[in-house]
Amino acid sequence: MPEQEIIRDTRTVRADRAAIAEGARILAAGGLVAFPTETVYGLGADATNGAAVARLYAAKGRPTFNPLIVHVADRAAAQRLGKFDAAAGALAAALWPGPLTLVLPKTDDCPVAELATAGLDTIAVRMPNHPVARTLIEAAGRPLVAPSANRSGHVSPTIAAHVAADLGGRIDLILDAGPTPVGVESTIVACTSGQPVLLRPGGIARAAIEQILGRPLGEPAPARADAPQAPGMLASHYAPATRLRLDADNVEPHEALLAFGPSVPSRAANAVAVLNLSRAADLVEAAANLFAHLRALDRAGARVIAVMPVPREGLGEAINDRLARAATPRQSNARA
């Protein structure tokens, strides 16, 4: 699509009742509206409108083989889209609304545009737990696709200004409700084969899911960069432009430091900029700060961002997953 076709006047407005109602009207007319969820800001479009979904892919610059999550306001709407087995039903009952996405077999009369599911016979469904997201979906009266509201390959936005920086001029409206509380994207679990499989660690820790299931989650097949049939598992994602050096216990000259916890790495005085994910070593706080700190350090003019180790328990699994993806050299065509 030629660039001029996606140039728009993008307004950022406080997400009050009137603004949400306007957002719902824009969505119903096939437009693009960014809105807060409890995880990160999403870029919404009418999931049942193929042309709107096509515009959304163009605005993000996203490879169309990477399918989207469909957001709903209630369980009945979810059941019109995907088939719930016992495990999916138990997870939805316990964790919705909340930062959990379920990949389910599509229903036979699923109204979602083929483009949104990239031609797969499965569909990713999520019921967000943010008052603005829920009110917007209800007011729009239809399911909304909502990938993270960033240009493809950038880190996800946790404040409205991140959305404006990435998508200003390409979308219709940004609903601003301040920082998103969780800070990393939803946990994605596939319930398509009897054994639930963790596709993406995220805002709900693995242990919480396994406790509800009463058994361990399965692991997906290993990632292959050239395998669009394994969406969500592409190795390079969420990448800042500056290279990351993980598990750093020192700071080299010209490096910025992404710290975690109260301790100071050796030669910390070298750092051209320092941000701490959580001085108290609180993983929930660290998740909420992760993407904003990566964006800020990316602008610090450092040659490399040195990242201190973050423990892998709880939300630390999702934080380490995003850091590993951000540190993986980019592939030209494989981002979300």
What's the rounded Cα separation, in Å, for the pair 112 and 190?
18
Nearer CB in complex with Mg ion: 200/206:
200
Q: Shortest Cβ distance from residue 214 to ligand TXA (Å)?
A: 24
Q: Shortest Cβ distance from residue 75 to ligand TXA (Å)?
A: 17
Does residue number 290 form part of the binding site for Mg ion (CB under 5 A)? no
Token pair for residue 191?
A: 């319930």
Token pair for residue 148?
A: 């993270």
Helix (H) / strand (E) element for 81: namely helix 75-81
Q: Shortest Cβ distance from residue 285 to Mg ion (Å)?
A: 22
8-state DSSP, 281: -
Does residue number 143 form part of the binding site for ligand TXA (CB under 6 A)? no
CB atoms within 10 A of CB 110: 22
Residue 124 near which of Mg ion, ligand TXA, none (CB within 5-8 Å, type-dependent): ligand TXA
Please identify, among the stretches 80-88, 141-149, 210-218, 252-260, the one whose residues bind ligand TXA according to the rule CB under 6 A: 141-149
How many H helices and E strands in the chain?
A: 9, 14
Q: Shortest Cβ distance from residue 60 to Mg ion (Å)?
A: 8
Residue 97 near which of Mg ion, ligand TXA, none (CB within 5-8 Å, type-dependent): none
Residue 292 near which of Mg ion, ligand TXA, none (CB within 5-8 Å, type-dependent): none
Q: Is residue 174 packed enough to be buried (19+ CB in 10 Å), middle (13-18) or exposed (0-12)?
A: buried
- Tell which residue, 154, 135, 167, 155, has the closest CA to residue 34: 167
> For residues 134-153, which are near Mg ion according to CB under 5 A?
148
What's the rounded Cα separation, in Å, for the pair 323 and 102?
23
What's the rounded Cα separation, in Å, for the pair 148 and 119?
20
Does residue number 158 form part of the binding site for ligand TXA (CB under 6 A)? no
Query: Quick one: which of 174, 257, 315, 336 contacts ligand TXA (CB under 6 A)?
Result: 336
Does residue number 32 form part of the binding site for ligand TXA (CB under 6 A)? no
Backbone angles phi, psi at 121, to 5 degrees: -95, 15
Total interface residues for Mg ion by CB under 5 A: 2
Do residues 196 and 214 make contact, with C-beta atoms less than 8 angstroms apart?
no
Residue spans of beta strands (DSSP E) within the chain: 11-14, 33-36, 41-46, 69-71, 100-105, 122-126, 144-145, 173-176, 187-190, 197-200, 243-245, 255-259, 274-276, 304-307
> For residues 75-114, which are near ligand TXA according to CB under 6 A?
99, 101, 103
Binding pattern for the stretch 195-224 against ligand TXA, x by CB under 6 A and - elsewhere: ----x-------------------------
Token pair for residue 284?
A: 């929930």
Q: Shortest Cβ distance from residue 234 to ligand TXA (Å)?
A: 7
Please identify, among the stretches 6-14, 25-33, 181-189, 307-315, the one whose residues bind ligand TXA according to the rule CB under 6 A: 181-189
- Antiparallel, parallel or unpaired: β 122-126 and 69-71: parallel
Q: Shortest Cβ distance from residue 237 to Mg ion (Å)?
A: 7
Does residue number 188 form part of the binding site for ligand TXA (CB under 6 A)? yes
Nearer CB in complex with ligand TXA: 159/251:
159
Task: Note the residues at the interface with ligand TXA (CB under 6 A).
Answer: 37, 39-40, 42, 66-69, 99, 101, 103, 117, 120, 122-124, 126, 128, 146-148, 185-186, 188, 199, 231-232, 336
Task: Note the residues at the interface with Mg ion (CB under 5 A).
Answer: 148, 336
